[in-house]
Structure 1
Amino acid sequence: MSPRPRPLLELDRADVRRARSLARTVGRPVVRIANQHTTVSVERATLRLAGLAGADHERVPWVNHLVDAVREGAGLEHGVTLPVWDALRRGAAPDLLTLAQMASSRSVDFRVPEGKDATAAARQSRTAVARGIRTIDAQRATRDRLIKRHGDPKQRPWVYLIVATGDIYHDIPQAQEAAREGADVIAVIRSTGQSLLDYVPEGATREGYAGTYATQENFRLMRAALDETSKEVGRYIRLTNYASGLCMPEIAALAGLERLDMMLNDSMYGILFRDINPIRTFVDQRFSRQVHARAGIIINTGEDNYLTTSDAVEAAHTVTVSQLLNEYFAKEAGLEDWQLGLGHAFEINPDLPDSFRMELAHALLARTLFPDAPLKWMPPTKHMTGDVFRGNLLDGFFNLAGALTGQSILLVGMMTEAVVTPWISDRDIALQNVRYVLGAAGGLTEDFHPPRDGFIQTRARQVLSEAIDLLQEINDEPGKAPLLEAIADGTFGEMKRPATAGKGLDGVVVRAAGYDNPAITLLENGQTR
């Protein structure tokens, strides 16, 4: 995403350095814990990269069967690949799929190989997984080639629009029409509750509720359709889905294999709002972000969600803290600045005096702290009342804030928010709102310079100061991982999530000294073989 002129605040550089330093200090113990554990989803994602796909007649994926069988027979402490390729070398099955099918009936004995057997199994598993990594590399090259051929959107911010009917075959024409009407990024919302499924559904799906299931085939179908539309409209249309929940690593791998362009991937969302175990989340998150880094995928983080459960003024500094932590975790996993779609939202009560000025202060603070990140700016939802005329006006204010503060990704607000799932006609009106505001005021970012000690600058400095204080408080928590203690205490989003509880805890495994995962090795070292 090319840079554009941005109105930056005058922040104390020492404060900015201190904020980032504290975020690193708080984040490092969590990374150490992530490096000491694996999860069933990380191991399943590794098998998917090795080419294992499909499901049984009850739609249970073969990767689930194989990982469960290895865990029962040999344990996952050394990773899934050593026992699996050892079994293949011993002639238990002719190929990976047959082995998984046999494992589903527990007709294969697994062991952790040693010595030369372990070396040979590691070598062969690395060869298999490397083919998946090379596919991801090829898909990234294809994206670059198509962007060069069709071009990027000329305007900033990119217009981001959601579709999700539950039926992928209904989603596709809606997504294509949205692109023709001006959307640059299409996001397909997942079916309600998919984040809590400990498996990835298989095939093209038509029965999602309030969203469409994230599956490899659905990814492939939508990507192919948007490639056709990119050619038609003369600009590359990006596709977004969700790498979150209990299958975060697997969905990240599938996104890389099918050339998705953005993925929602927040470091704490699943912990706070889906009650997924914190250690499970941080382990899965690190692997998924390594995949995203390799695939050239932009992540979208979920700071906007904090403001749906907390007051947007009083809790503004928690958004900044989360952004700083998301930045640290993302860069540690290999993501670059241009891939950090850090989140924030237009959620201050519009009835408050100076509400719009405070929104500008918060948006400018994010833009100033992360000048090279493609920030994702979320529209009003919490204070939408069902009055569609007021809602359309609020969305116009939101669009204007995006234009004034140099946002990168602008999610299209719907005046029917909190009333109905939007119709195509609702989206058309919402896109008209975006087009008008960006056409009339899109260049204001060059002219908008808040006075040095005015309301906006002062408010932004206050929020940054409060963020530094909170990071210091977290750092002062007792224990080896203060951030986990802070999450348990309800610091973020007023949700208390202890590290010893939560969904998916039983899928967390402590790594043994000889743990081997060729996907992690290839991703961390930037290797292809």
Structure 2
Amino acid sequence: MSDTAREDKLGLDPRLVDRARRLAARAAEPVIELARTHTTVSVERALLRLTGLHGADAGGTPWANVITDAVAAQVGLEHGVALPVWDALRAGGHRDLESLAREVARGGVSFRLPTGADAGTARAAAGAAARAGIARIDRRRAERDRLLREIGDPPQPWIYLIVATGDIHEDIPQAQAAAREGADVIAVIRSTGQSLLDYVPEGATREGYAGTYATQENFRLMRAALDDTSRELGRYVRLTNYASGLCMPEIAVLAGLERLDMMLNDCMYGIIFRDINPRRTFIDQRFSRQIHARAGIVINTGEDNYLTTADAVDAAHTVIVSQLLNERFGHEAGLADGQLGLGHAFEIDPSLPDSFRLELAHAQLVRELFPAAPLKYMPPTKHMTGNIFAGYLLDAFFHLAGVMTDQSIILIGMMTEGIHTPWLSDRDLALENVRYVRTACGRLAEDFVPRPGGFVAERARRVLAESVELLERVEADGLLPAIADGTFGVTRRPPDGGKGLAGVVARAPGYCNPATEILDTEDPHGSRDMAEVPA
């Protein structure tokens, strides 16, 4: 990134920007407190996965689910799974969590909530296991840092490309071919509906629909393949997947253990577009982002999706509000600015007069509000009509806007977006399009300076002012009621509706989760205690 590209070009009022951030922080605080005082079945299962539990029974139910469901049924989850599980491990003489899970499945384990010295013993054992799991994540992060030094890190903007056939063994050669054609980030999107599964499938999968299942083995296979290709090309190729839906915390843990580099991680997407309970997803989101912070993973947020259901001009300020909230939620969970891949999109109706100028105003506003964030810019989809020539031109305009406003991650547009799942040849043409624009424009962002008081600058200032007005209402009324009113993406989602609410549990006094204790108290980017880290 260039310093001149991210200087103040719009003449934004710094006092208004500061006010927006203060309002976002106040609006986020009740939801942060909710996440700090509650747990979910997926958070508890994530602890078991972090400590080494994997595998499933003959019917495909993961052992993490088997144990967590048994603890919930016998003693409840308000104290967490750690004390009952590590107490049962010691009392039953089981060699590991998998052997305990197999005995649980046979009905041979009676869990209890230990007290006194037994509780202390269980707490210490669970803490040691969690510490070992986090150490594995730390090693994978260090491994990434070493590879970036040895192989080389491609310059931004990174070209982000989706590869997901449903068959991981078909995805791998396609991903490697895409990297050879210029892709810097490979995204393996999930099979349709996986976000609604309250378990993580096991093993390498070959039967996903419109995507490939997110599993630990699929993560491992793709990461190993892209490491080979990275060495071949002399640049590190990043891998992303989805940590969202009902298993957000577990998938985050698996991603950290298998060295994924980016994760789509935004509970608002699950709330609005998958009707997952808001309380469940905000609680899950905090834990998953703490894991991402520790693993050095860049998150991608889903504000771009709002503009597929709402008008991109009228709703531009809702994108900014959500980004400011996501920034606050991310910082509180330990994410650095360099891990906040905030999302936005090129979705204004191209028939609208001055549509490109409006797009530039919105993109430059996001760039200046979040100068250190690796912004993810999404291509046009809503107004792709099936006219491939117009679509190819519109994608070129999108790529041009991305370069002019110094976006960090550009998801390439496909001219057949409005017709069918793109062919490989369509993908090659799309890569050619973005390569041409990126090469031809060079460092055009350094030369793009909107005229003071002109159309672009005034539009950006208006959107910022509208964002502050909306944040004032959200701060006064509450974020969960705002979501229920359809503030983001039009769709209304009440706090007590949607899928997964039954998996939310208020923490009792004495709640024990050694992973959250470590993540809450340690700076993920150094050795300082979190109490010493500035908010």
Normalised by the length of structure 2, the TM-score is: 0.96
The yes-or-no answer on 1:266 pairing with 2:266 is: yes
Within a 5 Å distance, the mapping from 1:39-438 to structure 2 comes to 39-91=40-92, 93-154=94-155, 156-438=156-438
Which residue of the other structure, out of 465, 481, 484, is the alignment partner of 1:485? 481
Judge which range, 484-493 or 353-362, deviates more.
Answer: 484-493
Residue 533 of structure 2 aligns with which residue? none
Q: Evaluate the alpha carbon distance shift between residue 527 and residue 371 of structure 1 in structure 2; reply closer, same or farther with a 3 A threshold.
A: closer
Letter of the 1:517 counterpart: N
Residue 41 of structure 1 aligns with an amino acid whose one-letter code is S
Secondary structure of the 2:488 match is coil
Q: Distance in 2 between matches of 1:350 and 1:283?
A: 39
Equivalent pairs, count: 524
Give me the whole-angstrom Cα distance separating, in 2, the residues matched to 1:318 and 1:488: 14
Once the two structures are superposed, residues 285-319 of structure 1 have per-residue CA deviations (whole angstroms, 9 ceiling, x without a partner) of 00000000000000000000000000000000000
The amino acid that maps onto 2:371 is P
> Residues of 2 paired with 1:418 and 1:115: CA distance?
63
Tell me, in whole angstroms, the C-alpha distance in 2 between the residues paired with 1:210 and 1:149: 35
Distance in 2, matches of 1:173 and 1:433, equals 22
What amino acid is aligned across from residue 89 of structure 2 in structure 1? Answer: L
Q: Is residue 277–residue 495 contact of structure 2 (8 Å, CA) maintained in 1? A: yes
- The separation in 1 between residues aligned to 2:420 and 2:216, in whole angstroms, is 28
1:111 Cα deviation from its structure 2 partner: 0.7
Q: Deviations over 1:447-481 (max 9, x none)?
A: 0100110000000010011010001011221xxxx
Q: CA 1:429–1:22 in 2, change beyond 3 Å: closer, same or farther?
A: same
Tell me if the contact between 1:136 and 1:257 (Cα under 8 Å) persists in the aligned partners.
yes
Whether the 8 Å CA contact 1:69–1:106 is kept in 2: the answer is no
- The two structures, once aligned, show a CA RMSD in angstroms of 1.3
TM-score, scaled to structure 1 = 0.97
- 1:94 Cα offset (Å): 3.0
Determine the structure 2 residue equivalent to 1:501.
497
- 2:96 & 2:247 partners in 1: Cα distance? 25
Task: Report the 3-state secondary structure (helix = DSSP H, G, I; strand = E; otherwise coil) of the residue aligned with 1:48.
Answer: helix
Q: 2-side partners of 1:442 and 1:239: how far apart?
A: 25
Q: 1:36-82: CA deviations, max 9, x gaps? A: 11000000000001100000111110000000001111111000010
Counterpart amino acid of 2:495? Answer: A
Provide the C-alpha distance between the structure 2 equivalents of 1:520 and 1:59, rounded to a whole number of angstroms.
Answer: 28
**Contact persistence 1:265–1:301 (CA under 8 A):** yes
Q: Distance in 2 between matches of 1:93 and 1:279?
A: 35
Matched, 1:524 2:520: yes
Aligned to 1:513: 509
Q: Deviations over 1:410-447 (max 9, x none)?
A: 00110110212122211110010001101111311010
Gapped runs of 5+ residues in structure 1? none
Q: 383-392 vs 87-96, which deviates more?
A: 87-96
In 2, the alpha carbon distance for the partners of 1:209 and 1:2 equals 41
**SS of the counterpart of 1:509?**
strand
Report the CA distance between 1:6 and its aligned residue: 2.9
Q: Deviations over 1:347-385 (max 9, x none)?
A: 000000000000000000000000000000000000001
Contact 2:245 2:267 in 1 (8 A): no
Q: What's the offset of the Cα at 1:228? A: 0.2
**CA displacement 1:211-248 (0-9 Å, x = unmatched):** 00000000000000000000000000000000000000
Alpha-carbon contact 2:334-2:523 (below 8 Å) kept: no
Answer whether contact 1:187 1:239 (CA < 8 A) is retained: yes
Residues 124-173 of structure 1 show CA distances to partners (whole Å, capped at 9, x for unaligned) of 0011111110110000000000000110113x211000000000000000
Q: Matched residues in 1 for 2:188 and 2:502: separation?
A: 30
5+ unaligned residues in a row in structure 2: which ranges? 528-535
Letter in 2 for 1:36: T
Instruction: Give 3-state SS (helix, strand or coil) of 2:241's partner.
Output: strand
Distance of 2:53 and 2:435 partners within structure 1: 44
Deviation string, structure 1 residues 185-220 (Cα, Å, up to 9, x no partner): 000010000000000000000000000000000000
Gap change, CA 1:39 and 1:3, over 3 Å in 2: farther
Would you say the 8 A contact 1:404–1:442 is kept in 2?
A: no
Paired with 2:68 and 2:264, the residues of 1 have a C-alpha distance of: 26
* 1:16-55 pair list within 5 angstroms: 16-55=17-56
- The alpha carbon displacement at 1:524 in A equals 1.9
Distance 2:423 2:221 in 1: 22
Q: Distance in 2 between matches of 1:165 and 1:416?
A: 17
Moved more, 360-369 or 111-120: 111-120
Distance 2:71 2:105 in 1: 10
2:186 counterpart SS class: strand
CA shift, 1:526, in A, is: 2.4
